Each structure stands twice: as C-alpha cells, then as structure tokens.
Amino acid sequence: MKLYFAPGACSFVPHSLLESAGAEFEPVMVKLHKGEQNEPAYRAINPRGQVPVLVDEGETITQIVAIVQYLDAKFPQQQWLPRELKPRTRVLETLAWMNNTVHPTFTHVFMPFKYAQTAAAQAELKVFNAGTYELLLGDIEVMAQQVADAGQAFLGGERFGPLDAYALTLLRWGGFAQIDPTGFPRLWAHVQKVAQLPGVARAIERERLQLNLYKPDSRGTAA
C-alpha cells in the first residue's frame, strides 16, 4: 500500500489514519511547491495532479471521502466512521462539507491565481475568502464546543477519525490567511489534543508540521 501525500496538505487525513492503525504502507512525498504533481510520472498516477492518492492491491484511489471510506472498510477495527447508519451519515456529511466547502474557500486564499488573472482581482479574492474562511472555522468551533458539552471525545464520536484530522488541517491553514487559531479556543484545544495521539504525532513528525502558523507583526496585528 502506498500513500502519495504532500506535507501540510489535506492528505494529512489519510496519513494520520494509516499511522493510527499501525498499517504497513509506503509514504511517498509529493513536493507541491516544486511542481512534482504536474510531472508526467505523477500525472500517470493521478491525471488530476492532486494529493492524496492511495494505491492498494492494484487499485488507485483519489479524493478524501473515497479514500476515507476505503480505509474504514479495510481497517474496520479502527471504527473511524460510526457503524450505525445515521451517525455514520452525519460524519460523512460533515467530512464532505469540509472537503467541498471549507477546503476550496482556503484554496481561493492560498492560490487566488487559479481563479483570477489580474493582481487586483486576485487580491480581492484573497481578502474576501479569508473572511469567509474565518466564518467557516467558526462553524467548526461550534462543533467542537458541542462535542465538549456532550462529553464526547472526538468530532465523529468516541474514537479519533477523519473529522479530527481534517479539523486540525483546516485550523492550521488559517495561519496562512492571517487567522489566529487561538481565537477558536475550543477547536484549538481539540486540535492540540488530537496532535498528541501517537499516530497523529507520527504523521506530524514525518510532515514536519507546525500547528500554529499565525505570525502577528510587531504591533500585535496580522502581518
């Protein structure tokens, strides 16, 4: 089994799941900043040039939601997704929202050149979507608070799962948008707890991740 991942990307979700399961897999780093995702060798694996990609038993699987469901079926003892239909559906619903709404909003901040040609339009996209992204992180903060109030250990139930790994990734990305993660106290506390789980910690170490990327300037405001 191989996992193609990029440090700090959403591929952290399956990366942390595989480490948490103690699975035997080959982690293959794709350096997005060097454009390796666009090289012919990688395009032969995933023509869309994206991470993550999971290769297992001759099958090549892309897209977070599909990979998570595949891994959940392959390692059922981990119970990353709830077994009961309704709770499972709710977790997948939230996972899809993180992937199809929160994640693309950040992409508009981090890579506005994908969506507009002029510098002025790109700057406007970046500012507007940074504000939207902060509101979306606020929605995840509410989720984390509700979980805490209910005495539930993790966002998807009593076990660590994909929602926790994705929440860590999304909150971390906020630093790139000049959003202070500590401004979401319940989510920040949850992310710090998740980061200490042995499997998650191993993925963080391999990817050399720093959780808080927010850098205020000398006046105490965002640079």
Residue 102 forms beta bridges with which residues? none
Provide the token pair at 198. Answer: 């042995």
Q: What percent of the chain has pLDDT over 70?
A: 97
- pLDDT at 223 > cutoff 70: no
Mean pLDDT computed over 189-215: 97
Query: What percentage of residues in the chain have a pLDDT greater than 90?
Result: 96
Give 78's Cβ-side CA count (13 Å radius): 24
pLDDT of 218 above 80: no
Does the pLDDT of residue 205 top 60, yes or no? Answer: yes
pTM above 0.85, yes or no: yes
Identify the pLDDT of residue 84. Answer: 96
Nearest to 21 by CA among 50, 56, 45: 56
pLDDT of residue 99 exceeding 60: yes
pLDDT tens digits for 27-81?
A: 999 999 999 999 999 999 999 999 999 999 999 999 999 999 999 999 999 999 9
Mean pLDDT of the residues in the chain: 95
Confidence of residue 154 (pLDDT cuts 50, 70, 90): very high
User: CA 213, 217, 219 angle in degrees (round to 5)?
Assistant: 140
Asked whether residue 215 carries a pLDDT value surpassing 70, the answer given is yes
Provide the pLDDT for residue 216: 78
The better pLDDT of the pair 194, 216 is held by 194
**Average of per-residue pLDDT across 156-160:** 96
DSSP element (H, E) containing 27 = strand 26-29
Amino acid at 50: Q
CB 95 within 8 A of CB 65: yes
Other beta carbons within 10 angstroms of residue 135's beta carbon come to 9
**139's tokens:** 């929605």
**Confidence band, pLDDT 50/70/90 cuts, at residue 201:** very high
Please state whether 35 falls in left (phi above 0), alpha (psi between -120 and 50) or beta.
left
In this predicted structure, the answer to whether residue 219 has a pLDDT above a threshold of 60 is no
Q: Say how far apart CA 183 and CA 214 lie, in whole Å.
A: 11
Q: Are 106 and 170 in contact (CB under 8 A)?
A: yes
